[in-house]
Chains A and B, each alone.
Chain A
Amino acid sequence: MVDILFFVFAATAVGGALGVVLQKNPVSSLLFMVGTLASLAGLFVLMEAHFLAAIQVIVYAGAIMVLFLFVIMLLNLGHDYRDDLKTGLGMFTAFAAAGALAGVLVSQLRGVEETPLAQHFPGPDALDQLLAEQGIIGAIAHPLFTDYVVAFELVGILLLVALVGAIVIAKRRV
C-alpha cells in the first residue's frame, strides 16, 4: 500500500515538475507547482514527517505560491507568451548542463542500496519509537528548542529582515 502510494505521489510530483517547466502560461506553471508541492507533502507523510507535510501545504502551497500568484497578476503576466523558451545554442547548452548534472547525481546514487546506513545510524525503528514517545510535534520541537535554538532565533531575525527588505525594495519611491 505504502509503495503504491509512493509511486502515485512520485508520478504526480514529476508530472507537475514537467508542467512547471513546459507550460507557457505562468499561471498554469504555478498551478502545476502547487500540485508538485502537494504530492511532496504526501511523500513526507509516507516518510513519517507529518509536521513537515502540514507546513509544506500551509506555508509552501498556501502562502508562498499565493505570493507568486499575486506578483504574476500584479505584473499582468498571465498572457505573456512571447518567446519564453531559449533557442538554438542556449537551449543546447542548457540541456548539456542538465544532462551533466543528471550524470553526476546518478553516479552518486549508485550503490546507495548497499550502503549500510542501518549499521551506523539508528534506523527507521528508532524514529518510530521517538515519534511514539514524544508525539509528532514534540519529536521535532525538542531538538528545535534545545540544540538548534540559536539557529531558530536567527531565522526569526532573518524573516524580519526579509520583511523589511521586501517592502523597501518593492516600494515605488525611496
Chain B
Amino acid sequence: MLAEALVLSAILFVIGTTGVLIRRNAIIMFLCVELQLNAVNLSFVALSQYIGIEGQVFVFFIMTVAAAEAAVGLAIIISIFRHYETVNVDNFNLLKW
C-alpha cells in the first residue's frame, strides 16, 4: 500500500499546487495550501508504517502548525478585505513593480 499512498499524495499535492496557481480568490488559494499540507501528511503517515511511530508524531505537529497558520492567515485576509473590499489577489498589487 506504500507506493499507492505515495502516488495519491503526489496527485493531491499537484492538484493543490494547481489550485494555488490558477485561482484568484485568496481564500481558495489558502484552502489549496491546506490541501498540500494534507498531501504531505498522507505521505508521512504512509511511511510511518515502515519507519516507526515518529512519522505520526510529526503529523501531529504539522496539524498544530496548520491550525495556527489558518487562524493568522484568515485574520490577514479579513484585514486585507477591510482595506480593498475584495479578496481577489489581482487587486493586491502594492508590491508589484
Footprint of B on A, CB under 8 Å?
A: 2-3, 6, 10, 13-14, 17-18, 20-21, 26, 29-30, 33, 36-37, 40, 43-44, 46-49, 51-52, 55-56, 59-60, 63-64, 67-68, 71-72, 74-75, 77, 80, 82-86, 90-91, 93-95, 97-98, 101-102, 105-106, 109, 112-113, 117-118, 121-124, 126-127, 130, 139-140, 143-144, 148, 151, 155, 158-159, 161-163, 165-167, 169-170, 172
Given A26-B28, A56-B63, A77-B27, CB of A67 within 8 Å of CB of B74: yes
15 A-B contacts (beta carbon < 8 Å): A55-B60, A60-B34, A63-B67, A67-B74, A77-B25, A77-B27, A84-B23, A102-B14, A112-B6, A143-B53, A144-B60, A155-B61, A158-B65, A159-B64, A166-B72
Contact assessment for B12 and A49 in the assembled complex, using a CB-CB cutoff below 8 Å: no
When A and B form their complex, what is the total count of cross-chain residue pairs whose Cβ atoms lie within 8 Å? 225
A94 partner, pick from B13, B18, B34, B66, beta carbons under 8 A: B18
**Which residue of chain B lies nearest to A141 when distances are taken between CB atoms in the complex?**
B57
Contact assessment for B23 and A36 in the assembled complex, using a CB-CB cutoff below 8 Å: no
How far is A56 from B66 in the complex, measured between Cα atoms in Å? Answer: 11
How far is A13 from B13 in the complex, measured between Cα atoms in Å? Answer: 12
Question: What is the size category of the interface that chain B forms with chain A?
Answer: 35 or more
Q: Which residues of B contact A170 (CB under 8 A)?
A: 74-75, 78-79
Distance in Å from the Cβ of B16 to the closest Cβ of chain A?
A: 7
Overall SS of chain A's interface: helix
Distance in Å from the Cβ of B22 to the closest Cβ of chain A?
A: 5
B17 partner, pick from A10, A101, A161, beta carbons under 8 A: A101
How far is A3 from B1 in the complex, measured between Cα atoms in Å? Answer: 8
B78 partner, pick from A74, A91, A159, beta carbons under 8 A: A74
What 1/0 mask marks residues of chain B from 21 to 65 whose CB sits below 8 Å from any chain A CB? Answer: 111110110111011001001100110111111101101110111
Contact assessment for A64 and B35 in the assembled complex, using a CB-CB cutoff below 8 Å: no
How far is A88 from B6 in the complex, measured between Cα atoms in Å? Answer: 32
Given A67-B74, A113-B3, A127-B53, CB of A86 within 8 Å of CB of B24: yes
Given A3-B1, A68-B74, CB of A77 within 8 Å of CB of B87: yes
Q: Which residues of B contact A126 (CB under 8 A)?
A: 52
